[in-house]
Amino acid sequence: MRIAEIIMAIALAALSLAIMYKAGERPTWSGEARFSNVGFGDDGSPQGGFWPFWVCAIMFLCSIWVLVNGILKVSPPAKSGGPYLDRHGVNVLLTVGVPVFLLVLLTDYISMYFSMAIFLFYYLFVLGRHGIILSSAMALVMPFWMFLFFDITMTRTLPKGTLAVEDGIYVPLGNFFRSLDGAMIGLCFLAGAAVLVAASRLSKRGEDA
């Protein structure tokens, strides 16, 4: 834990220095030298780079403070002898963190709804060890609800990906649901709920047997 505390402090100090360097940058058209904007201008008031530069300067000093505390074993994480991430923590990162990463990554290709369905199925079936019926039902109904809510009701379309599923699937689906009135949409939501309830009943029975 102490090593992690020290590494994190160094990383934050480096980040602050990098941002301070970036804050001093002037656009090429202004023709001014780097760091000419972090002080006070001719009118006596601070210029554009002043705020981010000095904010990061304070952050840099505090990172050094944390670093010293870590080296002197003053802060609680530095005193604790345990590892930064135990085996369980690493597991959480690999089995949950990485799939969330993939959830976002796949959105660009196969659309957010399909990506959600795959993620839900993985999480419920593989991680949660739920039955295949319940897992599939959740993977179908949740994205369906999201689609009804975001794309249809709130007219805030979520990304459809580059693999051209848009025209083949979403356009006809969207046209169909947009032609329904409010009450029918409500019924569609309820139908989803019914599928979920039925699936959880079925999978319970499976567990009992």
Q: Which of residues 76-115 bind other proteins (CB under 8 A)?
A: 76-77, 84-85, 88-89, 92-93, 96-97, 100-101, 103-104, 107-108, 112
User: Could you tell me the two tokens for 100?
Assistant: 């969330």
Instruction: Determine if 191 is a binding residue for other proteins (CB under 8 A).
Output: no
For the record, the structure tokens of 209 come out as: 């047997």
Q: Which residue type occupies 72?
A: L
Q: Work out whether 202 is an interface residue with other proteins (CB under 8 A).
A: no
Considering the rule CB under 8 A, would residue 28 count as an interface residue with other proteins?
A: no
Stretch of residues binding other proteins (CB under 8 A), selected from 128-136, 167-175, 184-192, 201-209: 128-136
Binding mask 153-172 for other proteins (x = CB under 8 A): xx-x-xx-------------
Residue 46 binds other proteins, judged by CB under 8 A: yes
Tokens of 102: 């993939």
47-66 binders of other proteins (CB under 8 A): 47-52, 55-56, 58-59, 62-63, 65-66
